[in-house]
Chain A
Amino acid sequence: MLAEILLELRNLKTKFKTYDGEVKAADGIDLTVHKKEILGIVGESGCGKSATALSIMRLIPSPPGEVHADKMELNGVELQSLTEKQLSKVRGSEISMIFQEPSSALNPAFTIGEQLIEVLILHQKLDRGAAHRQAIKALNLVQIPAATQRLADYPHQLSGGMRQRVMLAMACACMPSLLIADEPTTALDVTVQAQILELLCQLQSELNIAIMLITHDLSLVAEIAQRVAVMYAGVVVENASVRNLFAKPRHPYTQGLLASLPLLNAERERLNVIPGGVPNMLNLPKGCRFHPRCPHCWQICRQQEPPLFSQNGSEVRCWLFAREMNK
């Protein structure tokens, strides 16, 4: 099944100029999102997941940020060529985003209804009455009980899970083709997490929205995504279908991540953790960024950054595959 390409990102570089030096939060990222698919993006804290997402939304503040990509096309439209005005038309209607902290992601000074209706009026040119009805529909869509009453509530009157549902309702109210969910469940407790994930799946299948699910939890991805991109220190190190990735993780970092999953080795006392810590983004190691922590490190890894090797739709950035895969 060859789905159409929705988002194509080539060689994304996002830098932040700070007092201590330049942080390359994204250092040559290639990503492809197909229509109606769920793509998981996994990586440790600070590896540049949010920076990548915000670069696509064109929401990186400048200064200190600087974004450049060879290609950043959504439905064939180059996002980097859009004016600020065109961008605000695209945001929320073609591509939208929800964030990690539902408690602070809604404006405390306005009711749920005011915020939801504002977005609907902005994008769909509805009158107040129609927008109001549409807002109730959106809340029903994300399974918020007593939707009409909830419209008059302020965010602080709702629970964390409810707020994340409202965020989803706002993000999906105008039927975007891509939803970026940046750690949407990290701040929620486990049962609510499961409900939100289920809701994401349902939105994807009912509204045909493609979802880019950002998380540092591989097990979430295993549950709902079709493909995964594993990020490490500003680059994508492996990109494969969920099935392939879990059956045959190629990159040593991915292997380490899988080995540290609690579910897969419940019988063990201690989890397998990757030795070493997250690299300092200001001072990245030479050669492959992962080599100081890599159990298979050899000479070339210390000297030269590996390119992405690919085979049958899987991609891996590791010298171990230089022979068996294509550059």
Chain B
Amino acid sequence: MGNRYLRRLATLFFSLFVISLLSFALIEFSPGGAMARYVENPNISQADRTRMAERFGLDRPAPLRYFIWLRNTVQGDLGTSFMTGRPVLTEILERLPATLKLMTFSFFISIIVAIPIGIYSATHRHSLFDHLAATGSFLGLSLPSFWFGLLMIYIFAIWLNWLPSGGMITPWFDPSAYPLLIRPFVIFWEHTRYLLMPAIVLSLSNIGSWSRYMRSSMLDVISQNYIQTARANGVPERKVVYKHALRNALTPLVTLMGLDLPGFFAGAVVTEQIFAWPGMGRLFISAAGNRDYQVLMGIIMITAVLVLLGNLLADLMYRFLDPRVNYEG
């Protein structure tokens, strides 16, 4: 068992290395450069730009820069932002909680909606609900999230004026203005109303794919012999579905969730942009626009670590849910 996880860990570090190399090369080969944004500025001369590039160490050959970056990163130093001059790690850690908050909330929405839809569709196959769910998940998967986002902003923020169109919290929000008794609810609602729209938009494609997957997984399990056994032993149908079948149907879904994680991060980038959510995704977009390479690399690496850890977690969950998977493997 220990051996197995050592191997996983080695693979994880190797993946991180390859990801960093590829990302660095991709950034290196993309047009423009860190100094490109100053070219049009009449107050900054060519000589200034050369001096700045030297200061940032940009005049060195790319392989050397990569090794310097790698050496510093291994030591926990992700460098400084060209834009703000602040440490990259600080910039990211400031934004990471907002992204994690959005993703966690969205993840729970996805699960809470997708799993029951999948179960109901499977147990009521070819019903009206099943057809509607199929159409809905098809839409959720195929229509772009910025379109949904703008539609939701139009309906709920502009037209109905129920929810704020963007941001994470009202700047002047002051919980102490409310009586102690209702204060927790006020705080909860204050957070939720900002979260609701971006989290729903971010959930749509997950709900689409997970509910379909849950349906087919459930159908597959329901036709298994052990379900027949449970029924033949007098287990009531509700328990057959929600205990015997569900437990087995969830196992493959966990793997899918792990695989969907990168898409989830990518979705967060777009969603944060639409809803002015002050998370890592927005930082990424502005850093990409400004060619702030250190920040870009930092975000890519942190995301990669999170995705790989997420997959590790999914793997552990799978092992927990399916006793047949042996630990030696």
Q: Is B224 an interface residue (CB 8 A)?
A: yes
Query: Are A85 and B232 touching (Cβ within 8 A)?
Result: no
Interface pick from B110-118, B291-299, B319-327: B319-327
Please provide the chain B residues from 194 to 248 with a CB less than 8 Å away from any CB of chain A in the complex.
224-226, 228-237, 244, 247-248
B233 cross-chain contacts in A, Cβ below 8 A: 91-92, 96, 119, 122, 170-171
- For A, the interface residue count at a CB cutoff of 8 angstroms equals 30
Interface centre among B224, B233, B235 (most CB of A within 10 A): B233
CA of A57 to CA of B232 in the docked complex: distance in angstroms?
7
Q: Is A59 an interface residue (CB 8 A)?
A: yes
Given A105-B226, A154-B323: A91 touches B232 (CB 8 Å cut-off): yes
Nearest residue (CB) in A for B125 is A63
Please provide the chain A residues from 92 to 118 with a CB less than 8 Å away from any CB of chain B in the complex.
92-93, 96-97, 99, 101, 104-110, 118
Count of CB-CB pairs between chains A and B under 8 Å: 80
Query: Are B248 and A90 touching (Cβ within 8 A)?
Result: no
CA of A93 to CA of B234 in the docked complex: distance in angstroms?
8
A155 CB to nearest chain B CB (Å): 8
A96 cross-chain contacts in B, Cβ below 8 A: 232-234
B269 CB to nearest chain A CB (Å): 37
Partner of B226, one of A84, A106, A122: A106
CA of A88 to CA of B228 in the docked complex: distance in angstroms?
12
0/1 interface trace, chain B 286-329, chain A, CB 8 Å (1 if under)? 00000000000000000000000000000000000111100000
Q: Is A17 an interface residue (CB 8 A)?
A: no
Partner of B234, one of A106, A123, A154: A123
Known: A84-B236, A105-B226, A171-B232. 15 other contacts (CB 8 A): A59-B232, A84-B237, A90-B234, A92-B233, A92-B235, A96-B232, A99-B225, A105-B228, A106-B229, A108-B248, A118-B235, A122-B233, A122-B236, A154-B323, A171-B233
B residues at A contact (CB < 8 Å): 224-226, 228-237, 244, 247-248, 251, 321-324
0/1 interface trace, chain A 138-180, chain B, CB 8 Å (1 if under)? 0000000000000000101000000000010011000000000
B324 cross-chain contacts in A, Cβ below 8 A: 108, 154, 156
A residues at B contact (CB < 8 Å): 57, 59, 84-85, 88-93, 96-97, 99, 101, 104-110, 118-119, 122-123, 154, 156, 167, 170-171
Query: Are A105 and B229 touching (Cβ within 8 A)?
Result: yes
CA of A89 to CA of B233 in the docked complex: distance in angstroms?
9
A99 cross-chain contacts in B, Cβ below 8 A: 225, 228-229, 232
28 cross-chain CB contacts under 8 A: A57-B231, A59-B231, A84-B236, A85-B236, A88-B236, A91-B233, A91-B234, A92-B234, A92-B235, A93-B234, A99-B225, A99-B228, A99-B229, A99-B232, A104-B225, A104-B226, A105-B225, A107-B226, A107-B230, A107-B248, A108-B323, A109-B244, A109-B321, A110-B247, A118-B235, A119-B233, A122-B236, A123-B234
Given A104-B224, A106-B229, A107-B229: A119 touches B323 (CB 8 Å cut-off): no
A175 CB to nearest chain B CB (Å): 13
CA of A118 to CA of B236 in the docked complex: distance in angstroms?
11
Query: Are B226 and A89 touching (Cβ within 8 A)?
Result: no
Shortest beta-carbon contacts, A-B, top 8:
A92-B234, A92-B233, A91-B234, A104-B225, A107-B226, A97-B232, A154-B323, A109-B247
A67 CB to nearest chain B CB (Å): 15
CA of A202 to CA of B324 in the docked complex: distance in angstroms?
33
CA of A170 to CA of B232 in the docked complex: distance in angstroms?
10
CA of A109 to CA of B325 in the docked complex: distance in angstroms?
11
CA of A101 to CA of B227 in the docked complex: distance in angstroms?
13
Partner of B322, one of A93, A108, A118, A171: A108
CA of A97 to CA of B225 in the docked complex: distance in angstroms?
12
B231 cross-chain contacts in A, Cβ below 8 A: 57, 59, 88, 91
A84 cross-chain contacts in B, Cβ below 8 A: 236-237
B242 CB to nearest chain A CB (Å): 13
Nearest residue (CB) in B for A101 is B225
Query: Are A92 and B226 touching (Cβ within 8 A)?
Result: no
Query: Are B248 and A122 touching (Cβ within 8 A)?
Result: no
